[in-house]
Chain A
Amino acid sequence: MPVGATGISTQQVEEDKLVVSIGPQHPGAGHFRFTITVEGDMIVDVLPDPGYVHRGAEKQTEYRNYTQSIPLLERSSLTDVTNIIGPYSLAAEELMGIEIPPRAQYLRMIMSENQRIISHLYWLGIQAIFLGHSTMFMWPLGDRDLLIDLGEMIGGARITYSYWIPGGVRNDIPGNFKERALKTYDYFEKRLVDYERIFFENPLFLKRTQGVGVLKREEAIRFGVVGPVLRASDVKSDTRLDEPYCLYKDVNFEVPVYKECDTWARCMVHLFEMRQSIRIIRQILEKIPSGSVRVKLSPQQRTRPGEAYARVEASRGAMAFHIISDGGTKPYRTKISVPSFRNLIVLKKLLIGSHVADMPAIYWSLDYWPVEADR
């Protein structure tokens, strides 16, 4: 791209093409911008431009001790707050060399799965409004509040729980939690059937998503996408199965795999995963032992010098933290590997050659969250 006299890079556009800038003020994009070149109704070129909400979360962890970083890090992904601080806590615990009591492990799993449903519901609402389905926008965002209420019972806050912390979880669940949770999930499973009837079985929805934005198995592996996008591309990959953390090897659940590899498959993966999350939580509520939920740490807990790497399955895919410590109370260096940014790589590949009208559906089916990707 040549740079003009003013220092702004310029680009020569052919006469029959139109360059449209999507974002950062476009309602479809969020804090993210990409430029598409349109010829007729087809997209011929895409230029993603992330980085509008970079806040230096990695650098900021170097100035805070391990517990202080928790509220900061979870701001990066407000729909998925529990899972983004999960690997951070796991890596920090590895450096501190502490064992977590089993009740805390199970509580972490409950919160994590509840958070996965909350995040998927948010995703579902936006995907539906991107396809123009306003009822499916309102219903998930309304039902999401019930699950947020459950999270409030566990964690005390509505959105930012700061629940997984190095040393266990912040607090225990109240006594009436099991009863209330089972009631909520019973209701929610009925609602999922309603969702299927009005949205997932709608012929217009099938027409809009089937065969759109196909990401083949080999390509998905080669580009290194993670999470629901990878599973929709016929790859059985889930961190909870492959390298179980917490006590995921004690519960039964299925991992959805679809051979269609298109936007429809990506939508169905999310629906399937919500059901599996409920299944996991039901099992945990049956078998959760009593005991302490937190290991006592000193206010300025020191770690051993060295490195630690931990990975969990966040709602958008594998989320990993790599922490290097020099033995002090603060990390020497933190690296966050987020699923959003890994899935952004295929955006350009999927959009080129598709219709303009499919752009929002394909974009959001990758579940790209700009704040998480920019960190």
Chain B
Amino acid sequence: MAELTTFEQFVKRVLEIVFWVLIFLPLVILPVFYLVYVLPVELQCNFVLLGCSHSIDWATALYMFSPNQLNPFDPTSFISSMGLGASSILFRAGFFPGLTFVAVLSSFVIWYERKLLAKMQYRVGPLYAGRVGGIFQSFADLFKLLFKEIVIPAKADRLMFLAPVFGMMALGGALIGIVPVGANEFVASSPYSLLIALAILSFFPLVTLIAGWASNNKFSFIGAIRALYQMISYEIPLILSVIGVVILAGSLDFTGIVNSQNKIWFIAPMILGAIVFYITAMAEVERIPFDLPEADSELVAGWLTEYTSMVFGTINLAIYIKLYAMSAIFTLLFLGGWSGPAPVPDFVWFLIKTIIVMTIFIIPRGANPRIRIDQLIDLGWVWLIGLSFLNIFIALVLKASGLL
């Protein structure tokens, strides 16, 4: 650390500290607070007495703030009066179906992906960080990135260069917010949650384009244009492939879609839609064989070329959150979501299915080379759109004949 000589440096240092506190607060401090302080107390109490049902009711929250309820000698009432309980919106958004849970899951998936690929390639993979097979490698990488310098290119547009960090995290957070992990475990629910998730997904190309343009680098620019091409042309088959499921379920809500799969999982009648969704989702999250925007042999790192340090780490985390969200949506639409035999909690079933889907997303990376942009667009516009229309037709026939 250099010595502070001017006021400007002092302000910069303070801003840096504030920035990292803001990053750390939701990711580390709040979860620890919940785990150590709130959760043990919460588990002892009666949920009904506290007035916190599973859904958020602002009238109840206001009622809890009334002075009659506040007893300084009773930690339970104190916590719930501040709206911090295990069923509060803060807990849901910040910890369990929310950010921390997905961030930890993503770091696990990064480790899992590296181990799986290493097995495919006769390597060992991460080995030393953590006792069991380098399971803490992602965290070691996280701390390495945390202590690196943030380099912004001299000719880059500073504001627009940093905007994608927040944009990607916001979009990732929004996806987490709308995708439920269980019948009662969700951050927010809406009768149009599938539509909202698709709308959020269509914002990613914009952020990518901003990142590529603001870097003022030719490789970044070409990568961003490729990402734009790829994501926009694959969004149409993505949405079309979902329509079949919506027709059969008669609902745009993830909960409704999952509930309508109690007889049969939609992957059986909608196998074409599932295939189209799988391919387009792989293209949307830029995984091999569709990783053209980051093609490392011709475009260095594509639109991420100029990003360093935790700025890069945050964007990468958001990309993995997107991968998680895509697998989760696939599970919800085609694999019956959280339905499963009773003694195991529903979100555990959901997690098992999601991780299996993620594995299917990861495996092509070890077996395929990268496809070219003209072949990619050809595949998207000709084959996938055709297949998804066929899928819609099948769904209509099934619905009209009353089979499902």
CB atoms of B368 and A41 under 8 A apart: no
CB-CB under 8 A for A356 and B368, given A27-B300, A132-B289, A134-B117: no
B-chain residues with CB within 8 Å of residue A183 when the two chains form the complex: none
CB atoms of A134 and B121 under 8 A apart: yes
Complex CA–CA separation, A261 to B66 (angstroms): 83
A-chain residues with CB within 8 Å of residue B295 when the two chains form the complex: 132, 357
Query: CB-defined interface of B114-131 with A at 8 Å, one 1/0 digit per residue?
Result: 000100111100000000
**Whole-angstrom distance between the Cβ of B371 and the nearest chain A Cβ:** 6
A-chain residues with CB within 8 Å of residue B374 when the two chains form the complex: 41, 355
Is A202's CB within 8 Å of the partner chain B?
yes
Interface residues in A160-211 (C-beta closer than 8 Å to B): 198-199, 202, 204-205, 207-208
A-chain residues with CB within 8 Å of residue B222 when the two chains form the complex: 18, 20, 38, 356
Minimal Cβ-Cβ distance residue in B for A205: B369
Query: CB-defined interface of B363-391 with A at 8 Å, one 1/0 digit per residue?
Result: 00111111111110000000000000000
Taking a contact as CB atoms closer than 8 A, the residue among A22, A26, A130, A133 that contacts B368 in the complex is A133
**Whole-angstrom distance between the Cβ of A359 and the nearest chain B Cβ:** 6
B-chain residues with CB within 8 Å of residue A208 when the two chains form the complex: 369-372
Complex CA–CA separation, A133 to B300 (angstroms): 16
Is A131's CB within 8 Å of the partner chain B?
yes
Is B284's CB within 8 Å of the partner chain A?
no
B-chain residues with CB within 8 Å of residue A345 when the two chains form the complex: none
Is A138's CB within 8 Å of the partner chain B?
yes
CB atoms of B367 and A27 under 8 A apart: no
Complex CA–CA separation, A291 to B371 (angstroms): 55
A-side interface size class: 20 to 34
CB atoms of A204 and B296 under 8 A apart: no
Is A358's CB within 8 Å of the partner chain B?
yes
A-chain residues with CB within 8 Å of residue B300 when the two chains form the complex: 26-27
Complex CA–CA separation, A205 to B367 (angstroms): 10
Query: CB-defined interface of B60-73 with A at 8 Å, one 1/0 digit per residue?
Result: 00000000000000
**Whole-angstrom distance between the Cβ of B63 and the nearest chain A Cβ:** 57
Taking a contact as CB atoms closer than 8 A, the residue among A41, A132, A359 that contacts B373 in the complex is A41
CB atoms of A357 and B122 under 8 A apart: no
CB atoms of A142 and B297 under 8 A apart: no
B-chain residues with CB within 8 Å of residue A139 when the two chains form the complex: 121-122
CB atoms of B369 and A357 under 8 A apart: no
CB atoms of B122 and A133 under 8 A apart: no
Query: CB-defined interface of A21-48 with B at 8 Å, one 1/0 digit per residue?
Result: 0100011100000000010010000000
**Whole-angstrom distance between the Cβ of A364 and the nearest chain B Cβ:** 9
Taking a contact as CB atoms closer than 8 A, the residue among B218, B288, B297, B367 that contacts A20 in the complex is B218
Complex CA–CA separation, A142 to B121 (angstroms): 9
Query: CB-defined interface of A346-362 with B at 8 Å, one 1/0 digit per residue?
Result: 00000000011111100
Is B292's CB within 8 Å of the partner chain A?
yes
Complex CA–CA separation, A212 to B45 (angstroms): 69
Is A135's CB within 8 Å of the partner chain B?
yes
Is A128's CB within 8 Å of the partner chain B?
yes
CB atoms of B372 and A355 under 8 A apart: yes
Is A268's CB within 8 Å of the partner chain B?
no
- 27 residue pairs from A and B, CB less than 8 Å apart: A20-B222, A22-B298, A26-B300, A27-B296, A131-B370, A132-B291, A132-B296, A134-B117, A135-B121, A136-B369, A139-B121, A142-B121, A142-B122, A202-B367, A204-B289, A204-B368, A204-B369, A205-B369, A207-B371, A207-B372, A355-B373, A355-B374, A356-B222, A357-B295, A357-B298, A357-B370, A357-B373
Known: A18-B222, A358-B372; 7 extra A-B contacts, CB below 8 A, are: A20-B219, A26-B300, A41-B374, A128-B369, A131-B369, A138-B122, A202-B367
Which residues of B are interface residues toward A (Cβ below 8 A)? Answer: 117, 120-123, 218-219, 221-222, 288-289, 291-292, 295-298, 300, 365-375
